[in-house]
Amino acid sequence: MKKIEMKTPIVEMDGDEMTRIIWQSIKDELILPFVGLKTEYYDLGLKNRDRTNDEVTVQSAQAVKRLGVAVKCATITPNRQRVEEYGLKEMWKSPNATIRAELDGTVFRTPVIIPSIKPAVRNWKAPITVARHAYGDIYKAEEIKVEKAGKAELLFTDADGKQTRSTICDFDGAGVLQGQFNRESSIRSFARACFGYAVATKQDLWFSTKDTISKIYDQTFKFIFEEIYKTEYEETFKKLNLNYFYTLIDDAVARVIRSEGGFIWALKNYDGDVMSDMISTAFSSLAMMTSVLVSPDGKYEYEAAHGTVTRHYYRYLKGEKTSTNPVATIFAWSGALRKRGEIDGLTDLINFAGLLEKAVLDTINGGTATKDLIPLMDENVKPTAVYTDEFISEIKNKLETRLN
């Protein structure tokens, strides 16, 4: 068979542990036999991050800015235990945080849905994508434990020395205090990434906050979204018959559950953190969640939402076979190849991405699955649990059938 050709390389970010092993199998079995793959390779494995003083992470993010599309393997975010395990020079920052900061991006998480796995919410028919504003709010808040009675105030001193002051609470005893912030520039980037992604994937965009209670903080988010919609996206949305829909978060939660799915739900940082776990669990499992980082100027980095699956890796090192689910990582590859195809106008590459995804669904619907999926599957399918390599080779069989 003639291999499908590519024009521009995608940025390939290799990673750690079990996902690094699976990464190689996916390439060897499912991509390289069929595609004349072009990548610019960056090894974000922890050893190489340490060797390069984490320069490689920054370089890989700059490559995304240049080439526009990336695919990333899960990576270890070092903690103290990892510093010892790998003998690191430093407790390097999370690569995802570095890349996100460099690209000023927003993360969109989407479950892979499959007929033989029924979502916990019966009426969900299409995936719900959660877009989380991963900057500020309680994640960068300052907190004080109040020990006794006193006055808490909010004080802002602007660059010219002018002060604005507001009383938070006259404490009559012990309590707690928290100060949080966000930046207009970050909210704007978030809004643009969301509207842009809605247009790119032709889905409606929902946005919700608690603006009835938070009349300045949350309303600012609401107004910025409205303004950017009106001035930059309304025309395109109308042309594509898409909807931008703002509603209070309480109302959104109820509507999400009653919906059929098939839209993007944009959320502030904390709401997105919590709701994405709810959505992924209700659809199926973390191993079936894909994730894409999108910058406001339309650069894409695809990955699985899960981590490096450490426990499976330790078993692998002892020579045991594991039944680790590669689906989200395969969909990261198909997502990146499809986007590359769309940007470069390569129909064959776009089709290949679709067939690869269909081959995964064929395999699971045919009753071959990794261990984590078995309890979630329709009993009528009579699923069998297989090891990762068997699962991937069955996907390859199905892919070859589809390609012929």
Q: Which residue number, 265 or 391, has a Cβ lying nearer to Mg ion?
A: 265
CB 10 within 8 A of CB 39: yes
- Integer Cα distance of 190 and 196 in angstroms: 10
Q: Which residue number, 40 or 277, has a Cβ lying nearer to Mg ion?
A: 277
Which residues share a beta bridge with 130?
109, 265
Cα–Cα distances in angstroms (integers) from residue 44 to residues 50, 83, 87, 259, 358, in the given order: 9, 16, 16, 39, 29
Q: Which residue number, 94 or 243, has a Cβ lying nearer to ligand NAP?
A: 94
Q: Which residue number, 12 or 211, has a Cβ lying nearer to ligand NAP?
A: 12
| 59: three-class secondary structure by DSSP | helix
- Integer Cα distance of 208 and 231 in angstroms: 20
Picked from ligand NAP, Mg ion, none, the partner binding residue 368 (CB below 5 to 8 A depending on kind) is none
Provide the minimum distance between the beta carbon of 273 and Mg ion in the complex, in angstroms, as a whole number: 4
Picked from ligand NAP, Mg ion, none, the partner binding residue 308 (CB below 5 to 8 A depending on kind) is ligand NAP
CB 258 within 8 A of CB 345: no
Closest residue to ligand NAP, judged by C-beta, is 307
| 265: three-class secondary structure by DSSP | strand
Count the Cβ atoms, other than its own, within 10 Å of residue 168: 12
Residues in the chain: 404
User: What is the secondary structure of 330-395 as a DSSP string?
Assistant: HHHHHHHHHHHHHHHT-HHHHHHHHHHHHHHHHHHHTTEE-GGGGGGB-GGG--EE--HHHHHHHH
Provide the minimum distance between the beta carbon of 342 and ligand NAP in the complex, in angstroms, as a whole number: 24
The yes or no reply on residue 204 touching Mg ion (CB under 5 A) is no
Provide the minimum distance between the beta carbon of 271 and Mg ion in the complex, in angstroms, as a whole number: 11
Q: Which residue number, 139 or 314, has a Cβ lying nearer to Mg ion?
A: 139
Picked from Mg ion, ligand NAP, none, the partner binding residue 273 (CB below 5 to 8 A depending on kind) is Mg ion
Residues 270-289 that bind Mg ion (CB under 5 A): 273, 277
Q: Which residue number, 23 or 221, has a Cβ lying nearer to ligand NAP?
A: 23
Provide the minimum distance between the beta carbon of 177 and ligand NAP in the complex, in angstroms, as a whole number: 31
The gap between the terminal CA atoms of the chain, to the nearest Å, is 10
Provide the minimum distance between the beta carbon of 65 and ligand NAP in the complex, in angstroms, as a whole number: 20
Residues that bind ligand NAP (CB under 6 A): 74-77, 96, 286-287, 303, 306-311, 324-325, 372
Q: Which residues of the chain form contacts with Mg ion (CB under 5 A)?
A: 273, 277
